Amino acid sequence: MKGILGIKVGMTQIFAEDGKVVPVTVVKAGPCRVVQRKTSEVDGYEAVQIGIVEEKAPRKVTKARRGHFDKAGVDPMRRLVEFRVEDSDPAKPGDQVQASVFQEDDYVDVVGTSKGKGFQGVIKRHGFGGGKATHGSMFHRAPGSIGQASYPSRVFPGVKLPGRMGGKRVTVKNLQIVKVNEEENLIYLRGAVPGARNSYVALHEAKRG
């Protein structure tokens, strides 16, 4: 299984061997524990469910989730994530997953939740150009025409309009792993990763690397 759950620490920069500055995002990947091994016979598909072990365990855990963790023999965890695996994958509940599952120069797909920016207009949300800013145009940041007048007298679904921006599941593909610190479970990814600092991100092997 080449996947792990982590927490975004932040961005920094490191120097490559040729002296170039490389912008990287630091992710504290694990340690994680396997909570459940799903099989095609029981669940209909092959997957491994893992959770990240944090310094402070959650104080409030529902009875259903506590029973789920007790069945696996692990302590309660805040965030769980699933990764599809092959039938021959030997993972079982209780196994530990660390940052060493990845190596330098590997390519991964990163899944996170983008920063929530609240209610925004079309210029910030969709990149509209806006109108002229001079000569009394009175049309600066408005969306303009959004439909027809007499027929069909309605706005079609999918029209780009103002609304809530961010706070959605985002996947960034083919990010290169620049460095892996196995002792502190840190993975350095080239480029930016969706989400705010201290948010959860899932790393799995790139499908089209």
Pair (114, 199) in one structural domain: yes
Pair (177, 117) in one structural domain: yes
Pair (101, 9) in one structural domain: yes
CB 30 within 8 A of CB 203: no
CB 52 within 8 A of CB 32: yes
Which of 41, 32, 52 has its CA nearest to residue 198? 52
Residue-range definition of the domain harbouring residue 113: 3-121+172-205
Tell me, what's the pLDDT at 200?
A: 95
Pair (158, 189) in one structural domain: no
What is the edge-to-edge ordering of all strands in the sheet holding 32-38? Answer: 80-84, 47-52, 32-38, 96-97
Pair (116, 130) in one structural domain: no
Tell me, what's the pLDDT at 55?
A: 84
Pair (80, 19) in one structural domain: yes
Pair (68, 102) in one structural domain: yes
Pair (64, 143) in one structural domain: no
Tell me, what's the pLDDT at 152?
A: 87
Pair (11, 114) in one structural domain: yes
Pair (95, 186) in one structural domain: yes
Tell me, what's the pLDDT at 209?
A: 63
| Predicted TM-score (pTM) of this structure | 0.85
| DSSP conformational letter for 99 | G
Tell me, what's the pLDDT at 192?
A: 94
Which of 193, 49, 181, 10 has its CA nearest to residue 103? 181
Pair (19, 61) in one structural domain: yes
Mean pLDDT by 10 residues, the chain (209 residues): 91 90 93 91 92 87 91 91 88 89 92 96 95 90 89 91 95 94 93 94 87
CATH number reported for the structural domain that contains residue 199 in this entry: 2.40.30.10
Pair (156, 193) in one structural domain: no
Alpha carbon distances (Å) from 67 to 70, 73, 109: 5, 10, 32
Q: Count of domains in the chain?
A: 2
